Amino acid sequence: MNNCNRLSDLEVKDGVATVIDVNSDGTQLGDGFKNRLIAMGLRKGKSVQVMRKAPTGDPYQVRVGSTTEIAIRKQEAKLVVIEKQKC
């Protein structure tokens, strides 16, 4: 059984997860965010890990793959569907 969530649900303690899909909310702005996230490396099959969250919970510092680190807002992280890796 898959454990599917959004990147916005991933906690620092959860470790590495795998990107399943990047969605859009159907608006032109959402489509733009989707394309931007894909351009930053958030593609199907890539590993992701939340490194830090701001004290207020937004933004997130996310490691994509093994070398790239990005900062994204919670709103953008909700567009990324992930599967948590089992321990």
Residue 20 exposure: Cα atoms within 13 Å on the Cβ side: 14
Q: How far is residue 26's CA from residue 7's CA, in Å, rounded to a whole number?
A: 18
- What is the pTM assigned to this prediction? 0.84
Q: How far is residue 43's CA from residue 20's CA, in Å, rounded to a whole number?
A: 8
Mean pLDDT across 52-65 = 92
Lay out the sheet containing 60-64: strands in order across: 4-6, 80-84, 16-22, 47-53, 60-64, 68-72
Domains recognised in the chain with CATH numbers: 4-84 (2.30.30.90)
Give the Cα-Cα-Cα angle 44, 34, 66 (nearest 5 degrees): 45
Residue 61 has a pLDDT of 96
**pLDDT (tens digit, 9 = 90+) per residue, 32-50?**
888 888 888 999 999 999 9
Res. 68 pLDDT band, cuts 50 70 90: very high
